[in-house]
Structures are given as C-alpha cells and as structure tokens.
Structure 1
Amino acid sequence: MGSAHAVLEVRDVVKTYGGVRALGGVSLALEPGEVHCLAGENGSGKSTLIKIISGVERPDSGVLVIDGHTLSHTTPSDAIRAGVQVIYQDFSLFPNLTAAENIAMLDELAARRRLSSRRRIRAAAQRVVETLGLDIDLDADVAELSVADRQLIAICRALVGSAKVLIMDEPTTALTHSEVRRLFSVVRRLQERGVAIMFVSHKLDEVLQISQRVTVLRNGEVVASGPASAHTARSIAKAMTGRDISDERIVQPLAPDAAPLMVVNGLGRKGAFSDVDFTLSSGEILGITGLLGSGRGEIADAIFGVAPADTGTIAVSGRQHTIRSIADGVRAGIGYVPEDRLTQGLFLEKSIADNMVAASLDSYRTRARLLDRRRISGSIAELFARLRIKAPHVQAPVRSLSGGNAQRVVIAKWLDRNPAVLMLNGPTVGVDIGSKEEIFAILRAQAAQGTGIIVISDDIPELAANCHRVLIVRSGRIVAELAGDEIDVDRIEERMTA
C-alpha cells in the first residue's frame, strides 16, 4: 500500500507481546487534509498502532513513512518533530497551568528555552486560537475549564508544534451534541490547513459524519479499508465484530401484572434538580437522558446516596427508605454502576475476582464469621463465565482489561448482591460496539429475572433499542416520557433539545 501524496504511511507493521500478535502486517495511509477513521473493537490493535506511530512502542517489523522519510522505528520526540501529535482521552494537560501555558508548553520545551516569557507564551497561544476562530479564556487555569474547552486546548497545543498528523483518541466521549458540532467545525478548519487527522471512535454515526476514509482492525489485521461513503454504521460494525449487529428495538414486553419496584416522588436537590417523579416496574429497563448538565447524573447520584436529595421520597420493593449515604442505597437494594468506572467502580490494583465480590463479602460469612472460600470461588467462576469476561483467569489484574471487560466486572460486582434495582450511568462509554451489544444482553437477561434496570445515558440509539420507557431531563426536571412505539432516536433527540 502506498500513496505519493500521503503525509503518513504505515507499511506492513507487525507487533507481538509475549508471543501474542497484536498487529499482523497492518498498512494504511493518511493524506493531507483527510479525516481517516480508525475503527475496531477493544483489543483489535488500535492502541498498539497509535503507540507505534507516536514512537511509544517499537514494531517487530514494518516501517513508517512520515512526510517522505522512511523509519523502521521512531521515538516520541522524533514523532513530534516530524509533526505527529496524539490527543489522548485524558488530554494530558497540566490542570494547575493556564490555557495559554498548556498550549505553548511543548513549543517552549522544544526550543529548549531556559526562561519562559508570559508575553511570548500568551502571544503564541493567541495566534493559534485566532487561527481556529475559537473563544477560549487563555488566562484561566485548565482545571476550571469544561471538558470541551480542554479538548480544544489540546488541539491548539498540537498546532503550536506545527502538527501535520493529528491522532484523536475517542475525542467525543464526554461531549454534548452541541460540543461535538463545535469540535467537528474545528476539525474541518484543520482539514483546510492540510492537517491529516486519524479519528478513533466507537461512535459510528459520528465517524461517518466527519470521516473521508475508514480503516477497520480486527484481531490485529486490516479487515476493511476504503471511502467512508461506501460504508454504513452497520457495515462498519460487522467488519469490527465479524457478525451482524442489530440497531432495532430489542425489548421484551413487560408482564401485565409487573409490580412497581421503585417509586420516586418529589425528589429534589437545591441547584441540581427538582420535582422528580417516576415509577420503575419489575423487569423494566428505564432510560433517563438529557444534555450534559441537564441533571440526569445528579438524579442517579441522589437515588444511590452519593449526593443525597434534600426533598422527596424513595420506596423500593414496597418499603420507603431514607437514603443519605451510599450504605443506605445499598441497604435499600440498589446497585450503581457509576459513570467513571476506573476511579469510582473498581479497585484497579486488585484482581478481577477481588473486585467481583468487593460489595458482597459479608454475605459469604459463616456462623463463625469466617469467609466461605468455596462459595466465593463458585460465585466468581459463575459470574466470570456468565458475563463472558475476556481475561486469561480471574486472578488477572482488573487494570489489564479493556473498557468493555472492566465494565462487566463492575456489573458483576453488583449482580453478586442480587439488587432489586440496578442503575448504570453511561454503561457503554468508551466501550466498542460488540461489547455494547453484549452488555445490554446481560442487562436484558437480568431484567427478565425481575430486576429493575435504570440506564442513564446520552447514547440515544442504545436507549431507543433497549428501553421500555425513556425519561427526558432538562434543567433538572423530567420534561417528557416516551414509551413503546413513541421511542425512536429522532423523537428522543427532538425532546432533549426542545
């Protein structure tokens, strides 16, 4: 594979780790002013390829051609000097420095200046911001800025370094619809400047909206590559997984006599949300959505006791509960998979097995208050198999798992308690499309056993496909409820933005 016009080429790159092949002869090319989507499930080789392009990892064989120069390997400094920049999901910014300082920092280091000039730094940052037509407070500390503004600062930092190739890893994960539109507007300005962009995302509708070309990896090999116009979200999903992925509604009818499982009345917290009323039935999957900042996540935090409500009542299984803490939420029979699974849902240094039983150890104690190791091992083995967690064994560190498998461990932790109600906030953020489908299959199976499921998400297609009802939150209030045939993507988005 090759192109006379390519600013970056990857030719027959192979990489193995401990005998396991992560990349098996991958080739692709990026041309100036092109947005090239790199798609694939977790574990497909995307991250390894990015590390090789950026110089973090060295390939076993194959070469990179950057701006006409052939390299068998490179270092991060070499890649940056050649014009290759990577914007990772965490943006790698300094929160205690200003926006201007973050933008100009790498350029200052590259020039090996011993003394920095605030005037020079601000002027360099201002030039890039004006070039892209952005409105960013350059004097504000990055810690004070929104996720969307931090994303744009990371882009500006790359341009100060005269980036020719910009790799964006899951750039829209935490952005609202309006912020995504703003980001895409900036991406198009970058294209006009001739910057080649590798866009890595699980959100296939966005991929098709912004990309000119698509390359799909599966098991470390290129299984599809070509113009984005030749693809649909479904064809990309099939290439990623090797099977057809349905986007139609997969909702089992509720039993006519399904009992109310949770009743929320008049729930409110000053400055966050108010007058929240809803009922969740046994076996129901209830979606709650709204734009970022609508109050949807705060409602979930209040129900579980993370940040308790000031007013209102919560009843579970016919019994009213005062939920002032997480312990109260757990005692009420509620499980909660938080939005940030890495910092709030898992013990990263512990094993899969330890994480699975972390919330239910007391239930395994004998009369002598000793832990029943045989029962614990049996439960862990059953959950490991039932949730199809892809790992060599249950003692593997949870830190080593992909996003989808890490999410399954958090879900397993709560299923081991057999909660009456299981809430999940952003259950498929950063999860590939195959794992998304499997996670919702797990939730549907749990609902079929009578558990009430609440899904808080801004992934509208997944809500439309899986929920019996969807509640729309705006400005801290439930402003609409959709059920049955009323539920479709267009109608949900219309109610969210009305």
Structure 2
Amino acid sequence: MTFITMQNISKTFNGVKALNQVELSLNYGEALCLAGQNGCGKSTLIKILSGVYQPDEGAQIQIGASTYSKLKPEESIAKGIQVIYQDLALFPNLSVAENIAINAYREFGLVNKRQQYEIAQNVLESINASLDLNENVENLPVAEQQLVAICRALAQNAKLLIMDEPTASLTAKEVKDLLALVLKLKSKGISIIFVSHKLKEVMKVSDNVLVLKDGNMIGKYPIKEIDEKRLGFLMTGLEIDYQRLPLPDFSAKKNLLEVKNLSRANQYKDISFSVREGEILALTGLLGSGRTELCLSLFGITQPEQGEIFLNGEKLRLNTNRDAIAKGIAYVSEDRMSTGLIMPESIHNNIISAIFNKISDKYKIIDNKKAYKYSDDLIRSLKIKVSDPDLPVNTLSGGNAQRVSIAKWLAINPKLIILDSPTIGVDIANKEGIFRIVQSLSEQGIAVIFVTDEVEEAYYYSHRVLVMKKGRIIGDILPQEVSEEYIEEMIYENTK
C-alpha cells in the first residue's frame, strides 16, 4: 500500500538545479536505498520531504490521504516522517530515557518522570532492545546512541525512518544488529529510506534503490534485479572494476619508517612493523582495535609509553604533532569536519594552514602570490572541483572536502602520509579518485599508511595489509598471496 508519493520535485539554488523533476514512491514497510554520488541531490530530496527545504513550483507530495505542494517541518513530523542524521542530534548530557521521550513527557509544563520512563521502556521493549535508561547518552558507544535515536523517532510515532549513513561508524556485529532491527521495523509496517555509500550492506535489507545523478532521477530498481557493479555504473557512468595493486620490488628500497615494540596502556601493545619508501600499507581491523590510537602516536598527538620510532634510520621523539610535521610526517584525520579542516574557512586557507613558515617573509607576513600558487597547484593536481578557492570548505561535497584535507598535508612535502579512514562519507567515484591519489603519492616515493574498516579497500588498494585486534598486530599480509575472505576471517574471527 502506497504511503508517500513525490512528483515533479525540483529545487533551484542560485540558478543551479539541485533537483530536476524527481519522483519518489514508497510503500508502507518498504526499505528504499537512495543512491548517488555526493552532490547528486539526495540530501536536498530528503530535506524537501522533511520540510527543511521548499521545492520549486509544480511539486506534488502525497502522504497517506493528504496532498501538499510543500511541507513544513511540523507537518512532516506529524505525518510520521523522522530523519536520523549521521551526527544523531542527541542531547549528550541527558539520560537515555530523557532523550527517547524528549517530546512526550510534559504535563502542565512539568516533567513527568514516571511517564518518561514508561515511554522509553515501552519503545525499547517493542523492538526487543535493552538499554540503561538512567545512563547519560554521552557515555554510550555509537551503536547504542544510534539505537537511542531510533527509539526517539519511534516514540514520536514514526512511520518513515530516513537514515543518513547509518553504518558509517559501526563494527561488523553492530552493522548486523542494525540491519536485523531494520527488518524488524519493516515487519511492523515502518518504511525506511537509507542514504549510504556502503551499498553491500543496505542492499541486504532494501527492497528497491532510487538512483540520482546530477539532480536527475536515473530510475528506481528492484534490488533483486541489480548488483553493486551495475549500481555503481548507474551512479557514476563508470565501470568500477576492482583490481589489486601490482606489488613493486621493494627490495632496493630502504625502510622509511620503523616501529619497534611500541606500547601505550589500554590502546596498543608491542607494535613492530616497517614501511618502505613508496609502499602503501593498509591498517585494518575492527573499531576499537587500536588503529587510530597507533596513528596518533606516529603523528605525535599522543606519546607511546614504550618502544621506538625511526624515520630514515633516525630515532624520533615526537612530543607534539609539530615535531612530526617538521620530520615530514602528515596525518589526514578521520573526522575532517571537526579535526581535519576548518569548515567555515576558505579552501585556500585550509590548504595553506600547515605551511605558514614556507609562504611568509622574514617579517612573518604571508606572501599571497606564493600562497595562492601552492593552493592552486594542489587544487589542480588533486582535481578538486571548485569554482573559487576562496569559497568555504563546507560548500564542497564530501569527496572534494577530503581532497582538500589531503592537499593541506601534501603542501608540507611529506615523506610519510597517514590517511585515517579517508573514504568515510565518500561516494564510489570519489573513492576511486582518492586511491588514485594514493597510488600517485606512492609513485613519488612517499610512504602511505591508510586506516580502513573495509576489507575490500585494504585488499585492492594496498601493497601490504596489517590486521589489528585488541591493540596488537595479528597479521602482516601480502594481498597477492591470500584471498579477500582470508583477511575478513582474520578480522572477524571470534566476534560474530
């Protein structure tokens, strides 16, 4: 039975069509994957459905028996439409119960604690879930915070859950649990719209996929009639054909980085490995395995309690990240929005932010001509799509913003660059582009370490794979000698 129909949906920003006569239909209990590259119009369509944006004239939106030319946020919520954004928008200093029943426990302006707990407990029981209702949300792991957000939506009588990148920060088991919950919600007649770049996961529970490209609707396809390769082509117009990197002969290359018996309490223990000039090393494992913590120590953000780090044979003492930068070590943060880039600042200013010493005269005044040459050269070489380098970074798509964060560190001419989860929130085409950049860096003799949750990335885009578990390296693997499944089994053994 049809729940929502959207017809002739267009949206224009400053003369540019973000959406052009898009149509969407959704049944009760249907799960729809909304697919497309960054900037294709997915977020705009969701914001029109949730009442944040108003469509151009001629739009028609039908929800149940009601018809609208445009929606207000309160009308959308009243019709049961709830959006769970990637940042979840919870109140971290409030309890689980308070977050779940945030809009449903006031009587005469006063908080009814008993009703608050009853609502929260009833919602959790309805999906066979359990959480400590008194625990502050800030103390919960991401997967449980996401469960709180889902329960909050259900407490407001959600009939449609729109989930933005729901599996981006989850472990394999947490992803499995989330997908099982989605199936349970579908069985209750609740509709789901997924926005995700992890197509393999959402295709397991989606009934249909709606593909957008450059603001246009390519089509709606039953999941049973499409595979990832076909979907990738529809989204990008490119044939995505994964092929393992050839393994160069590194025997004549010297070790650029050597790590010996590195340990830091409760984070990583007895870590030893080396990376040669031009080698691409993938660091993979479950969330919490110590990957990022190790990288932060290699960049001087934290200090190991035991062990040694050598760069080109020189023993390093990295008290701060400034020490690491001075030695030619760069680190592209996992969270580009809060720690990698200054989002309201210009693209140009972000790119030059680590090289003020190179572009300033003896009076510490920035030479603008030299500065813009640096940023323009990097924008061109990394193929960053930007109309004006003085525009804020937050005007860019996820893929282009990630390229800016890489450009910022390439400006220091690094010997070693560490990329922490470089493709999170990045679409298929931009993911390919980022790894082409990685391969180019390798060909220039720069050593690359990249952290990834995705075995496919580690297997196809690296020369060597280190697998971490519980703070230790449990595997040092050449992809040419094993299967993708072998690495996956090593990561997930005893966790399923």
TM-score > 0.5 by shorter chain? yes
Match of 1:79 in 2: 76
Partner of 1:489: 484
Which consecutive residues of structure 1, in runs of 5 or more, have no partner in the other structure? none
Q: Distance in 1 between matches of 2:402 and 2:70?
A: 34
Q: Does residue 265 of the first structure (1) align with residue 260 of the second (2)?
A: yes
- What is the alpha-carbon distance in structure 2 between the residues aligned to residue 371 and residue 114 of structure 1? 56
The separation in 1 between residues aligned to 2:212 and 2:65, in whole angstroms, is 25
Cα deviations across residues 433-466 of structure 1 (Å, max 9, x unaligned)?
1111101101110110000000011121111110
* SS of residue paired to 1:162: coil
AA aligned opposite 2:86: Q
Distance 1:88 1:39, change over 3 A: same
Identity among equivalent pairs (%): 40
SS at match of 1:106: coil
SS in 1 for 2:252: coil
Choose the corresponding residue for 2:244, options 233, 238, 249.
Answer: 249
- TM-score, reference length from structure 2: 0.97
1:208 shift after superposition: 1.6
**CA deviation after TM superposition for structure 1 residue 41, in Å:** 0.7
Correspondent of 1:67 among 64, 68, 74: 64
With 392-401 and 368-377 compared, the bigger mean Cα shift is at 368-377
The whole-number CA distance in structure 1 between the counterparts of 2:29 and 2:314 is: 61
The reply to whether residue 468 of structure 1 matches residue 463 of structure 2 is yes
Specify the code of the residue in structure 2 equivalent to 1:46: K
| Alignment partner of 1:294 is 2:289 | yes
Give the match for residue 14 of structure 2.
18
SS at match of 2:318: coil
Aligned residues: 492
Report 1:43-442 matches (<5 A): 43-61=39-57, 62-108=59-105, 114-251=109-246, 253-366=248-361, 369-442=364-437
After superposition, give the CA deviation of every residue in 1:113-171 in whole Å (9 maximum; x if it has no partner). Answer: 51121110010010010010112111101111110001111111111111111101100
User: 1:365, 1:372 within 8 Å by CA — same for their partners in 2?
Assistant: yes
Task: Tell me the CA shift for residue 408 of structure 1.
Answer: 0.6
Counterpart amino acid of 2:30? E
CA distance in 2, matches of 1:107, 1:30: 28
So what's the TM-score if we normalise by structure 1? 0.96
Contact 2:465–2:479 (Cα < 8 Å) also in 1: no
SS in structure 2 opposite 1:138? coil
Q: Are the equivalent residues in 2 in contact too, given 1:250–1:466 (CA < 8 A)?
A: yes
The one-letter amino acid of 2:104's match is D
Check conservation: 1:44, 1:217, Cα contact below 8 A: yes
The letter for the 1-side match of 2:414 is P
TM-superposed CA distance for 1:487, in Å, is 4.6
Counterpart Cα distance in 1 of 2:231 and 2:179: 21
Deviation digits for residues 42-82 of structure 1, max 9, x if unmatched? 10000000000000011003111111211111111100101
Shift of 1:252: 5.3
Deviation of 1:251 after TM superposition, in Å, equals: 3.8
SS in structure 1 at match of 2:32:
strand
Once the two structures are TM-superposed, the CA of residue 22 in structure 1 deviates from its matched residue by 0.4
Choose from 3, 16, 20 the match for 1:7: 3
Separation (CA, whole Å) in 2 of partners of 1:191 and 1:42? 27
Q: Secondary structure at the match of 1:209?
A: coil
1:33 aligns with 2:29: yes
User: Residue 54 of structure 2 aligns to which amino acid in structure 1?
Assistant: R
* SS at 1:86 equivalent: strand
Alpha-carbon distance between aligned partners in 1 of 2:170 and 2:257, rounded to the nearest angstrom:
31
Aligned equivalent of 2:447: 452
Q: Is the 8 A contact 1:254 1:284 kept in 2?
A: no
- SS of 1:430's equivalent in the other structure is coil
Contact 1:8–1:165 under 8 Å retained in 2: no
- 8 Å Cα contact 1:469-1:487 kept in structure 2: no
Aligned letter for 1:128? V
Question: Hey, what does 1:42 align to over in structure 2?
Answer: 38
Instruction: Measure the CA separation in 1 of the matches of 2:395 and 2:187.
Output: 39
SS in 1 for 2:229: helix
- Contact 2:250–2:276 under 8 Å retained in 1: no
SS at match of 2:203: helix
**What secondary structure sits across from 2:273 in the alignment?**
strand
1:253 is displaced (CA, Å) by 2.1
Paired residue secondary structure (2:94): coil
SS of 2:448 mapped into structure 1: strand
Alpha-carbon displacement from aligned partner over 1:181-237 (angstroms, at most 9, x marks no partner): 111111111011000100110001112212110011000111131101111111111
Amino acid at match of 2:18: A
In 1, the alpha carbon distance for the partners of 2:482 and 2:430 equals 23
**Could you tell me how far apart the structure 2 residues matched to 1:113 and 1:450 are?**
69
My pick for the range that moved more, 373-382 or 272-281, is 373-382
Deviation of the 1:368 alpha carbon = 5.7
Name the CA distance, whole Å, in 2 between partners of 1:10 and 1:487.
Answer: 48
Residues in 1 aligned to 2:258 and 2:3: alpha-carbon distance in whole angstroms: 58
In structure 2, give the amino acid aligned to 1:161: Q
Cα distance change, pair 77–108 in 1 and its aligned pair in 2 (3 A)? farther
Distance 1:150 1:99 in 2: 9
Residue 346 and residue 384 in structure 1: after superposition, are their counterparts in 2 closer, same or farther (change >3 A)?
same
Offset of 1:375 from its aligned partner? 2.1
